[in-house]
Amino acid sequence: MGTLWSQERPPEEGQPTEHSRWWARARRLIMAVLLLGLLLGSSVLLFYIFRSCGPPLSLSPTGSCEMPMCLHLLDHYLASGNTRAAPCTDFFSFACGKEKGTSNSFQSLAEENKSRLRRILEAPGSWHLGSGEEKAFQFYNSCMDTSAIETAGAGPLRQVIEELGGWPISGNWTSLDFNRTLRLLMSQYGHFPFFRAYLGPHPTPPHTPVIQIDQPEFDIPLKQEQEQKIYAQIVREYLTYLNQLGTLLGGDPGKVQEHASLSISITSQLFQFLRPLGQQQAQGKLFQIVTIDKLQEMAPAIDWLSCLQATFTPMSLSPSQTVIVHDLDYLKNMSQLMEKQLLSHRDFLQSHMIFGLVGTLSPALDSKFQEAHTILNSKMGSFYKAGLIPAHPRWMKCVEDTGDFFEPTLAALFVHEAFSPSTQSAAMDLFTAIKDALITRLRRIPWMDEETRKKAQDRVTQLQVKMGGPEWAMDPALARQEYSDVHLGPSFLQSFLSGIRSRQARIIQSSLRPFPHQSDSSGPWGVNAYYSITDHMVVFPAGLLQPPFFHPAYPRAVNFGAAGSIMARELLHIFDQLLLPGGCPACDTHALKEALLCLEHHYAAFPLYSVTSFNSSLTVLENAADLGGLAIALQAYNKMLLWHRGETTLPKLGLTPQQLFFRSYAQVMCRNLSTQDSQDTHSPPTLRVNGPLSNIPAFARHFYCPRGALLNPSKRCQLW
């Protein structure tokens, strides 16, 4: 082979052989294939480069969420907003200003949760026989059995009054000891006619539960500053109502009128003793810690030890036991009034307590009592622009009472129904993103010193979170506990009173545990998130993490803008103390004061529209939380966009994902302007929308707001 190869001669130049021509064609083909592959590879690379630099894919029609829950959310947004409003001037009207008035997003969600509870309670044969479930379902059914309640009439209530010693207006009255009657009302009927007593966290660490004595809640809606004409109208309507109650219980009309008038006089005098919350704050007297024997000395008309011991059994109380008093001056004046009434009008004092009890129990009575209370609410609402909450249908009240008295059972059933493990996982992922964004943001807050910054980050890291419902609510066995202390019948009123006593006992037993937990005020179906100082825990109930605020299938812009901003706002309440005067001595107090002053001026630049009772001095902390909550949620959302491509939006709404984020934030705040209360610690809803949005440069950029527009001011505040 070597000889043969050595003997072969090279071809002459310009005279290619057949073999060389074949190799030339092959080389050209290979080069063409390589060139085509290079061009295709470059095109793919350029596509990904330009996709990263250009607008997100979600802006194309294929990026729309077409799932049923998204379409339902779209309908909700279209129904609540007013696209004719200019977003750069008044985003609240743009998001919430539908023509027929603004609905309350939280109230609507709360009602939807109650409808879900109703479906659970009315599902046929869905409980376990002999269990707590069965007792809860039976209570609900007896509450809905209005024919049986009508048949019983006022008889069950008369029996209760007899147990209290009777009623002077009916003629059958045993002049019992005043404190004995008060003790029975507090411990057996959950009625507090002259003050409120309840268990709440101690204001100082470790925040263990302690008895709190607070101002009473009046059935008559008097206000601190009220026109004389309106006051006279309110008194007249309330007198009519009390006369109806007395007549329904067989009282002589003349005697009823006299006792009703004296009852209103007592209420009016007690009301004059109250001090507004703002005044208590200014005087630094939000609470005082006193012993029971000291309280007895200062307000001697009440047998404090006896009344509190009966109410909070099985707690063991002594004269040296400390309690928290929220308005000691009120209690002193109340005691003096009681002593005066006991000397001259003991029977009128008994009537006053009975009138109040009948009003409290009216939901458990027949339709005549309920109608009288409904008419009173309607009349009282007409005196104020804000009005009162309209009367609820019977089923809603029955759901509320069943939830109050059988919370463990309904908590388990509701969480199982409304908060699946996948929903909980998605909600926890959202919370983690919000918490991480806050920790990052704490690094660059200008008024914090380094030590405070480190402590603040540690506080966030150590925070506990309760998402959806208590852990025990996930245990089906607890849904079937026995409730041996709840006795149903023979009348619905007796079942109702048994539920009151069982609930009170459950609260006290919980506080006596080695590690007491703060019970949710409305169960997992509630819609209020909160930060618990006692447990250093944020709570986000399952009832809140529902459409239209949250759903795993929603565009992320919706979840971050709505639920995410709520989460961030509650996290910021951890640092409320730092914002109060003297709350952070090591911080740059000058910079902090400047930031808070900027915030005050920032909010003052917006019109209040129809809101007249706004008290800006009470809203500083909530304004700060609103402002920071939006900024932190946006920061978390932007970080998410860097890691997760392919964001979606809602069809037919005409909003980019970033615009949808701000729209979803505003949707949370939708509420009727006329419902603002003068003692509300939140700003009016228009300010809660327009104030924070105008402080975010990204909002003006994404909605193309011209410089100097109301929501694109030249100066913004740097608090968080």
**Cβ proximity of 96 and 689 under 8 Å:** yes
Please tell me the distance from the alpha carbon of residue 410 to that of residue 400, in angstroms, as a whole number: 11
Q: Which two tokens stand for residue 170?
A: 């009916």
Instruction: Indicate which residue of 520, 570, 622, 647 is catalytic.
Output: 570
The answer to whether the peptide bond before residue 11 is cis (omega within 30 degrees of 0) is no
Closest listed residue to residue 537, CA positions, set 463, 609, 438: 463
Nearest residue to 425 via CA among 468, 479, 455, 390:
468
Q: State which H helix or E strand residue 147 sits in.
A: helix 146-152
- Residue pair 555/657 in contact (Cβ under 8 Å)? The answer is yes
* Predicted confidence (pLDDT) per residue in 251-270, tens digit: 888 899 999 999 999 999 99
Between helices 565-572 and 620-643, what is the axis angle to 10°?
Answer: 130
The pLDDT score that the predictor gives to residue 661 is 98
Strand order in the sheet with 537-541: 464-468, 537-541, 530-532
What pTM was estimated for this model as a whole?
A: 0.82
pLDDT tens-digit series, residues 303-324: 999 999 999 999 999 999 999 9
Do residues 109 and 527 touch, judged by C-beta distance below 8 A?
A: yes
| Annotation marks residue 570 as catalytic | yes
- The CATH code of domain 159-364 reads 1.10.1380.10
Give alpha helix (H) positions in 581-619: 589-604
Whether a cis peptide bond, with omega within 30° of 0, leads into 10 is no
Q: Is 237 a catalytic residue?
A: no
CB 608, CB 406: distance < 8 Å: no
Domain boundaries, the chain: 159-364
Query: For residue 515, what pLDDT is reported?
Result: 56
Element (H, E) at 225: none
User: Dihedral of CA 425/428/434/437: which sign?
Assistant: negative
CA angle 198, 199, 205 (to 5 degrees): 140
Give the pLDDT of residue 474: 61
**Dist CA 656 CA 653 (whole Å):** 9
| pLDDT reported for residue 196 | 95
The CA distance from 533 to 28, in Å, is 78
Q: Which of 400, 520, 626, 647 is catalytic?
A: 626
Rg (CA), the chain: 33
Residues 117-152: pLDDT tens digits? 999 999 877 666 667 888 999 999 999 999 999 999
Binned average pLDDT, 10 residues per bin, the chain of 720 residues: 32 41 55 54 41 33 82 93 93 83 80 95 75 89 96 93 84 78 94 94 84 88 68 89 92 91 93 75 73 97 97 95 94 96 88 91 91 85 55 89 91 91 96 98 94 96 91 62 85 96 89 61 87 90 96 97 98 95 93 94 84 70 96 97 87 94 96 69 92 97 96 94
pLDDT of 86: 95
Tell me how far apart the alpha carbons of residues 379 and 239 are, in angstroms, rounded to a whole number: 12
Q: How many CB atoms lie within 10 A of CB 446?
A: 12
